[in-house]
Amino acid sequence: MKNSKINYIVTSALIAAIYAGLTYLCGVFGLAYGPIQLRLSEVLTVLPVFTSAAIPGLTIGCLIANLGSFNALDMIFGTAATLIAALLCRALRNIKFKGLPLLSILPAVVVNAVVIGFEISWFFLPEGLTLWGFLVSGAEVGLGELIVCYAFGIPFYLAVEKHNIFSLGEKK
């Protein structure tokens, strides 16, 4: 029992560190913050399919990563979006199409498009919250998420599954 708690904490911490590190790396290239984001760290949003330890790991990792935006709103909204998406991913983990958790990946795309799109349009666009501003901001964020989560997330999922990386942790 004690070992399983330690494994859970260590797994969460590793996921948080990797998420934050990859986000900061993307930040060097101007891809981590703002309306158009291609955070490579978002490939990790598939991990709740394998372990519930990914939920606090992704959430804490996102909070740490969003410290780099120097924006309290991003820390709040971005972290909340990641938590919601991770919980939904975990809830949908058993629904697979041809062995792939395609539906589990979708919450990261949709929740970030809606929440971050709202945040950007309400707080950062000169005209404030408008339907058009929200739709454009949401589409920009959603497109970046879609590219990273599906184009990179599916191969990442297959690699994690093939190498049975979470075999020592909890069962799917």
In this prediction, residues 129-139 reach a mean pLDDT of 91
In this prediction, residues 131-152 reach a mean pLDDT of 95
In this prediction, residues 86-90 reach a mean pLDDT of 98
pLDDT of residue 172: 47
Q: Mean pLDDT across the chain, nearest whole number?
A: 92
pLDDT of residue 37: 87
Output the CA angle 78-80-86, nearest 5 degrees. Answer: 100
Give one word for 37, left, alpha or beta, with left for phi > 0 and alpha for psi -120 to 50.
beta
**What is the per-residue pLDDT across 93-114, written as a single tens digit (0 to 9) for each?**
999 999 999 999 999 999 999 9
Instruction: Return the sign of the alpha-carbon dihedral for residues 87, 54, 39, 97.
Output: negative
**What is the per-residue pLDDT across 27-43, written as a single tens digit (0 to 9) for each?**
999 999 887 889 999 99
- pTM to 2 decimals? 0.92
Query: Confidence band (pLDDT; 50, 70, 90) for 167?
Result: low
**What is the per-residue pLDDT across 42-54, written as a single tens digit (0 to 9) for each?**
999 999 999 999 9
Give the lowest-confidence range in 121-130, 138-147, 155-164: 121-130
